[in-house]
Amino acid sequence: MDRKLDHTSSYQRIGPSQFSDLTGFYDAQKAPANLTETRRRVDAFVNKHSSTGRRIVLVTSGGTTVPLEAQTVRFIDNFSAGTRGAISTEQFLERGYAVIFLSRQYSLLPYSRHYSHSKNCFLDFMKPDGLGGITVAPQFTPAMLKVLEKYNSVKQQGLLEVVNFVDVNEYLFLLREITASLSTIRERAMFYLAAAVSDFYIPLGKMVVHKIQSGDGALHLELDQVPKVLSPLVKEWAPKAFVVSFKLETDPSILISKAKTSLARYGHQAVIGNILSTRKYHVILITNEEEKDIRLPEKEADAGAEIEGLFIPELISRHEEWIRQASLQN
Protein backbone atom coordinates (compact mmCIF):
# COMPACT_ATOMS: atom_id res chain seq x y z
CA MET A 1 0.00 0.00 0.00
CA ASP A 2 1.34 3.44 -0.93
CA ARG A 3 1.26 6.14 1.66
CA LYS A 4 2.06 9.79 2.03
CA LEU A 5 4.13 11.20 4.85
CA ASP A 6 2.33 12.51 7.86
CA HIS A 7 4.12 15.83 8.33
CA THR A 8 3.58 15.75 12.09
CA SER A 9 6.00 18.37 13.18
CA SER A 10 6.66 20.85 15.90
CA TYR A 11 7.54 23.41 13.23
CA GLN A 12 5.28 25.86 11.49
CA ARG A 13 3.94 24.55 8.18
CA ILE A 14 4.79 26.51 5.03
CA GLY A 15 3.32 26.31 1.54
CA PRO A 16 4.72 24.42 -1.48
CA SER A 17 7.53 25.60 -3.84
CA GLN A 18 7.86 28.89 -2.05
CA PHE A 19 11.56 29.60 -2.20
CA SER A 20 12.52 30.95 -5.53
CA ASP A 21 12.82 33.94 -3.18
CA LEU A 22 16.00 33.46 -1.17
CA THR A 23 15.09 35.66 1.77
CA GLY A 24 12.14 33.36 2.35
CA PHE A 25 14.48 30.40 2.48
CA TYR A 26 16.78 31.91 5.06
CA ASP A 27 13.86 33.20 7.15
CA ALA A 28 12.11 29.84 7.30
CA GLN A 29 15.11 27.55 7.80
CA LYS A 30 17.09 27.20 11.01
CA ALA A 31 20.65 28.56 11.07
CA PRO A 32 23.35 26.09 12.17
CA ALA A 33 24.38 26.41 15.82
CA ASN A 34 28.02 27.20 14.93
CA LEU A 35 27.21 30.02 12.48
CA THR A 36 28.26 32.97 14.65
CA GLU A 37 31.44 31.24 15.82
CA THR A 38 32.31 30.28 12.22
CA ARG A 39 31.77 33.84 11.04
CA ARG A 40 34.09 35.10 13.77
CA ARG A 41 36.77 32.58 12.73
CA VAL A 42 36.43 33.39 9.03
CA ASP A 43 36.48 37.15 9.67
CA ALA A 44 39.73 36.77 11.61
CA PHE A 45 41.23 34.69 8.77
CA VAL A 46 40.16 37.18 6.09
CA ASN A 47 41.42 40.18 8.09
CA LYS A 48 44.79 38.55 8.72
CA HIS A 49 45.40 37.80 5.04
CA SER A 50 43.79 40.90 3.64
CA SER A 51 46.27 43.02 5.63
CA THR A 52 49.13 41.40 3.67
CA GLY A 53 47.36 41.73 0.31
CA ARG A 54 47.16 37.97 -0.17
CA ARG A 55 44.42 36.64 -2.43
CA ILE A 56 41.87 34.36 -0.78
CA VAL A 57 39.82 31.62 -2.42
CA LEU A 58 36.76 29.88 -1.04
CA VAL A 59 36.83 26.27 -2.21
CA THR A 60 33.59 24.35 -1.66
CA SER A 61 33.94 20.59 -1.70
CA GLY A 62 32.00 17.36 -1.24
CA GLY A 63 28.29 16.68 -1.46
CA THR A 64 25.45 18.05 0.64
CA THR A 65 22.85 15.78 2.22
CA VAL A 66 19.10 16.25 2.44
CA PRO A 67 17.69 14.95 5.74
CA LEU A 68 14.30 13.24 5.64
CA GLU A 69 13.66 13.65 9.38
CA ALA A 70 14.44 16.56 11.74
CA GLN A 71 16.05 14.05 14.10
CA THR A 72 17.89 12.57 11.19
CA VAL A 73 18.20 8.85 10.70
CA ARG A 74 17.78 8.86 6.92
CA PHE A 75 19.02 11.28 4.32
CA ILE A 76 19.56 11.62 0.57
CA ASP A 77 23.17 12.19 -0.42
CA ASN A 78 24.89 13.88 -3.34
CA PHE A 79 27.79 12.32 -5.19
CA SER A 80 31.27 13.69 -4.40
CA ALA A 81 34.22 12.28 -2.50
CA GLY A 82 35.73 15.76 -2.16
CA THR A 83 38.69 14.81 -4.35
CA ARG A 84 38.36 17.80 -6.66
CA GLY A 85 38.11 20.26 -3.78
CA ALA A 86 41.00 18.77 -1.79
CA ILE A 87 43.40 18.63 -4.77
CA SER A 88 42.39 22.13 -5.86
CA THR A 89 43.05 23.51 -2.40
CA GLU A 90 46.62 22.20 -2.50
CA GLN A 91 47.08 23.80 -5.93
CA PHE A 92 45.82 27.21 -4.74
CA LEU A 93 47.99 27.06 -1.61
CA GLU A 94 51.08 26.24 -3.68
CA ARG A 95 50.35 29.27 -5.84
CA GLY A 96 50.18 31.75 -2.96
CA TYR A 97 46.48 31.83 -2.11
CA ALA A 98 45.00 31.52 1.36
CA VAL A 99 42.10 29.06 1.27
CA ILE A 100 38.79 28.77 3.09
CA PHE A 101 37.83 25.15 2.58
CA LEU A 102 34.07 24.65 3.00
CA SER A 103 33.79 20.93 2.92
CA ARG A 104 31.50 18.03 3.71
CA GLN A 105 32.44 16.53 7.06
CA TYR A 106 34.62 13.41 6.63
CA SER A 107 35.17 13.96 2.90
CA LEU A 108 38.74 14.27 1.61
CA LEU A 109 40.98 16.97 3.08
CA PRO A 110 44.03 18.57 1.43
CA TYR A 111 47.28 16.73 2.24
CA SER A 112 45.74 13.98 4.37
CA ARG A 113 43.82 12.91 1.24
CA HIS A 114 47.02 11.22 0.03
CA TYR A 115 46.64 8.69 2.82
CA SER A 116 42.91 8.42 3.46
CA HIS A 117 40.31 6.74 1.21
CA SER A 118 43.34 5.20 -0.50
CA LYS A 119 43.57 1.53 -1.37
CA ASN A 120 45.98 1.04 1.52
CA CYS A 121 44.86 1.32 5.11
CA PHE A 122 46.97 4.05 6.78
CA LEU A 123 48.47 1.35 8.99
CA ASP A 124 50.03 -0.19 5.88
CA PHE A 125 52.28 2.89 5.61
CA MET A 126 53.83 2.23 9.02
CA LYS A 127 55.99 -0.34 10.70
CA PRO A 128 57.33 -0.98 14.21
CA ASP A 129 60.75 0.65 14.70
CA GLY A 130 62.02 -2.23 16.85
CA LEU A 131 62.36 0.07 19.89
CA GLY A 132 58.73 0.00 20.95
CA GLY A 133 57.80 2.89 18.61
CA ILE A 134 56.47 3.27 15.08
CA THR A 135 58.14 4.54 11.91
CA VAL A 136 57.04 5.12 8.31
CA ALA A 137 57.95 2.19 6.08
CA PRO A 138 61.03 3.24 4.02
CA GLN A 139 59.38 2.82 0.61
CA PHE A 140 56.73 5.43 1.58
CA THR A 141 59.02 7.89 3.38
CA PRO A 142 60.14 10.21 0.50
CA ALA A 143 56.60 10.83 -0.77
CA MET A 144 55.16 11.20 2.72
CA LEU A 145 57.92 13.61 3.75
CA LYS A 146 57.08 15.90 0.82
CA VAL A 147 53.40 15.96 1.77
CA LEU A 148 54.23 16.49 5.44
CA GLU A 149 56.53 19.44 4.71
CA LYS A 150 53.87 21.18 2.61
CA TYR A 151 51.20 20.49 5.22
CA ASN A 152 53.36 21.85 8.07
CA SER A 153 54.27 24.96 6.11
CA VAL A 154 50.59 25.74 5.39
CA LYS A 155 49.76 25.16 9.05
CA GLN A 156 52.59 27.34 10.34
CA GLN A 157 51.53 30.22 8.10
CA GLY A 158 47.84 29.78 8.93
CA LEU A 159 46.91 29.65 5.25
CA LEU A 160 44.04 27.19 5.47
CA GLU A 161 40.72 27.57 7.29
CA VAL A 162 38.47 24.51 7.26
CA VAL A 163 34.70 24.84 7.74
CA ASN A 164 32.47 21.74 7.67
CA PHE A 165 28.91 21.17 6.54
CA VAL A 166 26.79 18.06 6.31
CA ASP A 167 23.36 19.02 4.97
CA VAL A 168 22.32 21.50 2.31
CA ASN A 169 20.82 23.84 4.89
CA GLU A 170 24.13 24.19 6.74
CA TYR A 171 25.94 24.63 3.43
CA LEU A 172 23.68 27.50 2.32
CA PHE A 173 23.91 29.37 5.63
CA LEU A 174 27.68 28.93 5.86
CA LEU A 175 28.17 29.94 2.22
CA ARG A 176 26.24 33.19 2.75
CA GLU A 177 28.19 34.02 5.90
CA ILE A 178 31.61 33.28 4.38
CA THR A 179 30.68 35.26 1.28
CA ALA A 180 29.80 38.30 3.39
CA SER A 181 33.21 38.08 5.02
CA LEU A 182 35.12 37.56 1.75
CA SER A 183 33.29 40.37 -0.04
CA THR A 184 35.36 42.82 2.01
CA ILE A 185 38.46 42.04 -0.07
CA ARG A 186 36.51 42.68 -3.28
CA GLU A 187 38.40 41.57 -6.45
CA ARG A 188 41.05 39.68 -4.49
CA ALA A 189 38.46 37.07 -3.50
CA MET A 190 37.84 34.01 -5.66
CA PHE A 191 34.92 31.63 -5.29
CA TYR A 192 35.56 28.11 -6.55
CA LEU A 193 32.27 26.28 -6.11
CA ALA A 194 33.08 22.60 -6.62
CA ALA A 195 30.65 21.19 -4.04
CA ALA A 196 27.84 18.99 -5.34
CA VAL A 197 24.88 20.89 -3.93
CA SER A 198 21.48 19.22 -3.61
CA ASP A 199 18.86 20.57 -5.97
CA PHE A 200 15.90 19.39 -3.89
CA TYR A 201 15.20 19.38 -0.15
CA ILE A 202 12.48 19.09 2.45
CA PRO A 203 11.84 22.46 4.12
CA LEU A 204 11.96 22.44 7.91
CA GLY A 205 8.25 23.17 8.15
CA LYS A 206 7.38 20.08 6.11
CA MET A 207 9.77 17.68 7.75
CA VAL A 208 8.71 15.00 10.22
CA VAL A 209 10.46 15.20 13.57
CA HIS A 210 10.95 11.52 14.32
CA LYS A 211 12.23 8.56 12.36
CA ILE A 212 9.90 7.58 9.51
CA GLN A 213 8.39 4.22 10.38
CA SER A 214 8.70 1.35 7.92
CA GLY A 215 6.20 -1.44 7.51
CA ASP A 216 3.36 0.61 6.03
CA GLY A 217 4.27 0.18 2.36
CA ALA A 218 5.94 2.51 -0.13
CA LEU A 219 7.03 5.97 0.88
CA HIS A 220 6.23 9.03 -1.25
CA LEU A 221 8.37 12.10 -0.77
CA GLU A 222 7.80 15.57 -2.14
CA LEU A 223 10.92 17.70 -2.31
CA ASP A 224 11.01 21.45 -2.90
CA GLN A 225 13.59 23.08 -5.11
CA VAL A 226 16.69 24.45 -3.40
CA PRO A 227 17.08 28.14 -4.30
CA LYS A 228 19.96 28.87 -6.68
CA VAL A 229 22.39 30.82 -4.53
CA LEU A 230 24.80 31.54 -7.35
CA SER A 231 22.60 34.37 -8.53
CA PRO A 232 22.57 36.49 -5.31
CA LEU A 233 26.18 35.53 -4.61
CA VAL A 234 27.35 37.02 -7.91
CA LYS A 235 24.96 39.95 -8.09
CA GLU A 236 24.56 41.04 -4.47
CA TRP A 237 26.70 39.28 -1.88
CA ALA A 238 30.13 39.60 -3.51
CA PRO A 239 29.68 41.52 -6.78
CA LYS A 240 33.40 42.34 -7.17
CA ALA A 241 34.73 38.83 -6.65
CA PHE A 242 35.93 36.36 -9.28
CA VAL A 243 33.47 33.45 -9.32
CA VAL A 244 33.99 29.98 -10.79
CA SER A 245 31.20 27.42 -10.74
CA PHE A 246 31.22 23.78 -11.79
CA LYS A 247 28.84 21.95 -14.08
CA LEU A 248 28.61 18.21 -13.70
CA GLU A 249 26.77 16.15 -16.29
CA THR A 250 26.68 12.52 -17.36
CA ASP A 251 25.64 13.25 -20.97
CA PRO A 252 28.54 14.91 -22.89
CA SER A 253 26.21 16.28 -25.56
CA ILE A 254 24.59 18.79 -23.16
CA LEU A 255 27.61 19.81 -21.06
CA ILE A 256 28.74 22.89 -22.99
CA SER A 257 25.26 24.28 -23.54
CA LYS A 258 24.39 23.83 -19.85
CA ALA A 259 27.64 25.52 -18.80
CA LYS A 260 26.99 28.44 -21.16
CA THR A 261 23.43 28.80 -19.90
CA SER A 262 24.74 28.95 -16.34
CA LEU A 263 27.30 31.61 -17.29
CA ALA A 264 24.66 33.72 -19.03
CA ARG A 265 22.09 33.29 -16.25
CA TYR A 266 24.33 34.11 -13.29
CA GLY A 267 26.80 36.49 -14.92
CA HIS A 268 29.88 35.07 -13.23
CA GLN A 269 33.38 34.65 -14.70
CA ALA A 270 33.97 30.97 -15.46
CA VAL A 271 32.43 27.52 -15.48
CA ILE A 272 34.41 24.30 -15.30
CA GLY A 273 32.41 21.64 -17.12
CA ASN A 274 33.05 18.00 -16.32
CA ILE A 275 31.55 14.61 -17.12
CA LEU A 276 31.18 12.19 -14.24
CA SER A 277 33.12 9.33 -15.85
CA THR A 278 36.01 11.42 -17.23
CA ARG A 279 36.29 14.21 -14.64
CA LYS A 280 39.77 13.21 -13.51
CA TYR A 281 41.43 13.75 -16.88
CA HIS A 282 39.17 15.99 -18.92
CA VAL A 283 37.45 19.33 -18.18
CA ILE A 284 36.21 22.23 -20.27
CA LEU A 285 36.93 25.77 -19.12
CA ILE A 286 34.17 28.09 -20.30
CA THR A 287 34.24 31.87 -20.04
CA ASN A 288 32.43 34.56 -22.01
CA GLU A 289 35.39 34.72 -24.37
CA GLU A 290 36.39 31.10 -24.82
CA GLU A 291 35.76 27.42 -24.51
CA LYS A 292 38.96 25.57 -23.65
CA ASP A 293 39.28 21.81 -23.72
CA ILE A 294 41.78 20.69 -21.08
CA ARG A 295 43.04 17.11 -21.00
CA LEU A 296 45.56 15.37 -18.81
CA PRO A 297 47.73 13.16 -21.03
CA GLU A 298 47.67 9.52 -19.96
CA LYS A 299 51.44 9.44 -19.46
CA GLU A 300 51.27 12.37 -17.03
CA ALA A 301 48.33 10.79 -15.20
CA ASP A 302 50.32 7.58 -14.84
CA ALA A 303 53.21 9.59 -13.40
CA GLY A 304 50.89 10.98 -10.72
CA ALA A 305 49.90 14.34 -12.27
CA GLU A 306 46.39 15.69 -11.61
CA ILE A 307 44.24 17.71 -13.98
CA GLU A 308 43.76 20.48 -11.39
CA GLY A 309 47.46 21.25 -11.99
CA LEU A 310 46.51 22.18 -15.56
CA PHE A 311 43.34 24.21 -15.18
CA ILE A 312 43.92 26.01 -11.87
CA PRO A 313 46.87 28.05 -13.27
CA GLU A 314 44.47 29.06 -16.08
CA LEU A 315 41.92 30.27 -13.54
CA ILE A 316 44.56 32.09 -11.55
CA SER A 317 45.83 34.02 -14.57
CA ARG A 318 42.24 35.07 -15.33
CA HIS A 319 41.79 36.12 -11.71
CA GLU A 320 44.97 38.20 -11.93
CA GLU A 321 43.63 39.89 -15.05
CA TRP A 322 40.31 40.50 -13.24
CA ILE A 323 42.20 42.27 -10.43
CA ARG A 324 44.31 44.26 -12.91
CA GLN A 325 41.26 45.45 -14.82
CA ALA A 326 39.59 46.55 -11.60
CA SER A 327 42.68 48.50 -10.53
CA LEU A 328 42.63 50.38 -13.87
CA GLN A 329 39.04 51.45 -13.20
CA ASN A 330 39.66 52.63 -9.63
Residues near ligand PMT (CB under 6 A) are 80-84, 193-197, 199, 226, 228-230, 245-248, 274, 279
How far apart are CB 146 and ligand PMT at their closest, in Å?
Answer: 22
How far apart are CB 330 and ligand PMT at their closest, in Å?
Answer: 28
Which of 212/256 has CB closer to ligand PMT?
A: 256
How far apart are CB 194 and ligand PMT at their closest, in Å?
Answer: 5
135 pairs with which residues across the strands? 127
Which of 199/236 has CB closer to ligand PMT?
A: 199
> Please, are residues 311 and 285 in contact by the beta-carbon 8 Å criterion?
yes
How far apart are CB 69 and ligand PMT at their closest, in Å?
Answer: 21
Which of 150/279 has CB closer to ligand PMT?
A: 279
How far apart are CB 218 and ligand PMT at their closest, in Å?
Answer: 27
Which of 182/208 has CB closer to ligand PMT?
A: 182
How far apart are CB 111 and ligand PMT at their closest, in Å?
Answer: 16
Which of 9/18 has CB closer to ligand PMT?
A: 18
Gap between the Cα atoms of 203 and 21, Å rounded: 14
Gap between the Cα atoms of 319 and 97, Å rounded: 12
Alpha carbons within 13 A on the beta-carbon side of 307 = 20
Which of 38/80 has CB closer to ligand PMT?
A: 80
Which of 22/31 has CB closer to ligand PMT?
A: 22
How far apart are CB 68 and ligand PMT at their closest, in Å?
Answer: 18
How far apart are CB 289 and ligand PMT at their closest, in Å?
Answer: 20
Which of 93/259 has CB closer to ligand PMT?
A: 259
Separation of CA 237 from chain center: 18
3-state secondary structure the chain: CCEECCCCCCCCCCCCCCCCCHHHHHHHCCCCCCHHHHHHHHHHHHHHHHCCCCCEEEEEECECEEECECCCCCEECCCCCCHHHHHHHHHHHHCCCEEEEEEECCCCCCCHHHCCCCCCCHHHHEEECCCCCEEECHHHHHHHHHHHHHHHHHHHHCCEEEEEECEHHHHHHHHHHHHHHHHHHHHHEEEEECCECCCEECCHHHCECCCCCCCCCCEECCCEECCCCHHHHHHHHCCCCEEEEEEEECCHHHHHHHHHHHHHHHCCCEEEEEEHHHCCCEEEEECCCCEEEEECCHHHHHCCCCCHHHHHHHHHHHHHHHHHHHHHHC
